[in-house]
Amino acid sequence: MKRVWIALLLAVLAVAQDKPKEQKDEPKLVQRLFILKYADPSQIEGMLRVFTSSLTTNKEMHALAVTGTPETIATIEDALKRLDVPAAAPKDIDMTVFLLSAADAPATAAPPMPKDLEPVVTQLKNTFPFKNYDLLDVLTFRTRTGQQVSTTSSGGSFQIGNRNVAVITSLRINSISVQGDGGTLRVDRLNTSIRVPQPTGAPGDTQFQYYDLGMQTDLDIKEGQKVVVGRLGISHDKALFLVMTAKILQ
């Protein structure tokens, strides 16, 4: 009897070995070509790669070719309905940048400080040890959201000996955009370059040399708010402060 059970067991094992292994069905892939009306396919390609699919873009034809499962294709189609929409109309922005000089001694022949800057000066006096703040220069310009803008001014000056020597201020902004609340501006890559004359001779001498100061930053600014962008140190007892405000034109 024992031999019979062994023979049956061997027969079952042989049948099991001869039975082919079940293979999982490969997911069915389909292809779909999307023609976009508004969006740049190369810009949204990265966002769509979160889905498991193969993507090919053609910027000139606004085309996006997708290979994936039917479920993935349907998900991408739904995402494109949200992404392929007209861009918001660009807005004009008026920017004003105040360049303030800070020192222990007041500047000679400095223009009067505007009333609306007095709260900013009070804030600076409570934060930094300088006794006097003077308005050195004002830069005003108009730009448009999404565009690069640059401007230069030599309206400010420092007195060296018996002469006034220009302070040369250059600003460049990569782009400005309006945030979702409609009243906050995002300033991307604000670059500030200021050439400051400094005396090199004896007191009262008119000899001088230019020194370059610079600052680069991103910032958010609410419409009408005056923001202290930063401080640029000239010496232990003298510095420059950049204050910015903006207005969205409707």
Instruction: Flag whether the pTM goes above 0.85.
Output: no
Structure tokens that stand for 187 in this block:
């300033």
Q: What percent of the chain has pLDDT over 70?
A: 88
| pLDDT number for residue 20 | 53
Question: Spelled out in words, what is the top-level CATH class assigned to the domain 24-87?
Answer: alpha beta
Where along the chain do its domains lie? 24-87, 92-249
| pLDDT number for residue 113 | 87
**pLDDT higher than threshold 90 for residue 107:** no
DSSP one-letter code for 53:
S
Cβ proximity of 241 and 231 under 8 Å: yes
What is d(CA 200, CA 221) in angstroms, rounded to the nearest whole number? 39
Four-CA torsion 101, 105, 108, 112, nearest 10 degrees: 60
